[in-house]
């Protein structure tokens, strides 16, 4: 064999060796690179996260009760107001005339009461006089000094006076009822007239103003929204899986979108009884100690819960679902095996509680180059490098 052929043969053998090494270590026959982590036992920080919207705990929508035109507006959005302050006035149209007419009816019925009382007093006096005369005539009749006809005439006068007294009493009762009705009508018109003034129900701030002078509002159409700026909370949506851990009074950290670097401290004030069946979330209201921001602003809320002591945990990335079972791939004697597990809480720092299925000595596979299967050939590396 010539030297040239020997040289070519050696080059070929070298290439074959290199190719075989690449196939075995880097190609399809190479072991799958994985990272592993031993099950950790210790305290597990627990917290709940949710997204919410800043709301006023107490807000009031002010609207007229009648359809009318806006006569004047005294306040604007952002103005501070006090309870009872006039915010706007509606055009009363004919309410002032109706109120004056009601007043005249009240006065008329009051005079009718005076007339009925005078008539009643006269009827009482007349009956008293006639009754005394009738009694005297009865004595005279018994003595034979007057005729039966004269005695009967006096008895008739007494009966007539008694009927007149009853009629006067009835007229007085009617007059008083009419007066009471007139007063009720006047109060009703007065209340409607008072509704033309939109008054602030609290000491607060005008959050929204919907009206301008000259515009027409129908009954019930909102003109202003007044809020208490010192009593704000975040309506936070918490996943139902985590909502069961939330309790009234727990401390919360709130980060407003307008103040990302200045977290605020709040506390859970109320937990809604009804959950959203569509989004599978529950509303948790977090009261803020202070906030200088806009109503309706988005906020991120973190509720810090009590730590879980002496509990097993693994990285959340290690949890897989195989054949409708939650579990992890573990490395046992250099081989890959799947272990079903029972999980508990998931923390915000990327760890998950293991209630059952793993021992303290198990090593779970966190990341792998490709999907794993039982008895797959693997190689443990410190970290996977993305190419």
pLDDT at 23: 44
Range 67-91+196-226 has CATH code 3.40.50.2300: no
> Which helix H or strand E contains 60, and what residues bound it?
strand 59-62
Task: Give the pLDDT mean for 335-354.
Answer: 82
Q: Dihedral (C-alpha) 329, 333, 335, 339: value to the nearest 10 degrees? A: -30
- Ranking 25-29, 34-38, 132-136, 253-257 by mean pLDDT, the lowest is 25-29
Per-chain mean pLDDT for the chain? 84
List C-alpha distances in Å: 326 to 197, 270, 311, 343, 364.
65, 34, 18, 8, 13
Residue 180 has pLDDT above 90, yes or no: yes
- As a residue count, the chain comes to 387
Percent with pLDDT over 70 in the chain = 90
Residue 323 banded pLDDT, cuts 50, 70, 90: confident
Instruction: Answer yes or no: pTM beyond 0.85.
Output: no
Task: Please tell me the distance from the alpha carbon of residue 281 to that of residue 260, in angstroms, as a whole number.
Answer: 24
Residue 369 structure tokens: 């180059």
Strand 32-38 to strand 378-380: parallel, antiparallel, or no bridges (unpaired)? parallel
CB 216 within 8 A of CB 67: yes
Q: What is the CATH architecture assignment of 31-45+307-387?
A: Beta Barrel (2.40)
Q: What is the reported pLDDT for 290?
A: 66
**What gap in Å lies between CA 336 and CA 363, rounded to an integer?**
10
- pLDDT: is 157 or 114 the higher one? 114
Superfamily of domain 48-57+227-306: Efflux pump adaptor protein, beta barrel domain (2.40.30.170)
Q: How do residues 27-71 score in pLDDT, each as one tens digit? A: 454 577 778 788 888 887 778 888 999 998 888 999 998 888 999
pLDDT at 325: 84
pLDDT > 70? residue 8 = no
In this model, does residue 74 exceed pLDDT 90? yes
pLDDT of 108: 93
Q: Domain map of the chain by residue range?
A: 1-29, 31-45+307-387, 48-57+227-306, 67-91+196-226, 95-194
Between 346 and 276, the more confident residue is 276
What is the sign, positive or negative, of the torsion defined by CA atoms of 12, 13, 15, 19? positive
8 Å CB contact between 320 and 328: yes
């Amino acid at each position: 064999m010539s030297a040239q052929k020997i040289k070519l043969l050696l080059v070929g053998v070298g290439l074959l060796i290199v190719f075989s090494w690449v196939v075995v270590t880097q190609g399809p026959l190479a072991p799958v690179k994985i990272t592993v982590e031993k099950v950790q036992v210790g305290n597990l920080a627990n917290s709940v996260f949710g997204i919410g919207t800043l709301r006023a705990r107490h807000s009031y929508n002010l609207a007229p009760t009648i359809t009318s035109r806006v006569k004047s507006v005294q306040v604007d959005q952002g103005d501070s107001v006090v309870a009872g302050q006039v915010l706007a006035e509606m055009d009363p149209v004919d309410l002032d005339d109706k109120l004056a007419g009601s007043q005249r009816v009240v006065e008329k019925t009051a005079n009718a009461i005076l007339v009925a009382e005078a008539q009643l007093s006269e009827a009482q006096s007349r009956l008293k006089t006639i009754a005394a005369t009738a009694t005297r005539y009865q004595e005279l009749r018994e003595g034979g000094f007057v005729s039966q006809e004269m005695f009967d005439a006096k008895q008739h006068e007494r009966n007539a006076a008694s009927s007149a007294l009853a009629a006067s009493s009835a007229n007085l009762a009617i007059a008083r009822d009419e007066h009471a009705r007139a007063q009720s009508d006047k109060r009703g018109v007065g209340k409607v007239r008072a509704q033309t003034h939109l008054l602030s129900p609290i000491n607060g701030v005008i959050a929204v103003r919907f009206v301008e002078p000259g515009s027409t509002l129908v009954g019930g159409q909102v003109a202003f929204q007044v809020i208490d700026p010192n009593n704000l909370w975040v309506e936070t949506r918490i996943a139902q899986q985590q909502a069961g851990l939330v309790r009234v009074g727990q401390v919360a950290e709130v980060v407003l979108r307008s103040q990302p670097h200045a977290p605020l401290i709040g506390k859970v004030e109320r937990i809604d009884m009804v959950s959203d069946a569509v989004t599978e979330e529950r509303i948790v209201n977090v009261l803020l100690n202070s906030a200088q921001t806009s109503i309706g602003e988005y906020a991120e809320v973190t509720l810090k819960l009590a730590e879980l002591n002496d509990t097993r945990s693994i990285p959340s990335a290690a949890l897989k679902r195989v054949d409708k079972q939650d579990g992890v791939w573990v490395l046992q004697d250099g081989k890959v095996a799947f272990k079903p597990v029972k999980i508990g809480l998931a923390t915000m720092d990327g760890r998950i509680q293991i209630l059952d299925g793993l021992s303290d000595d198990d090593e779970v596979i966190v990341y792998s180059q490709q999907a794993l299967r039982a008895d797959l050939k693997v190689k443990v590396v410190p970290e996977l490098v993305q190419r």
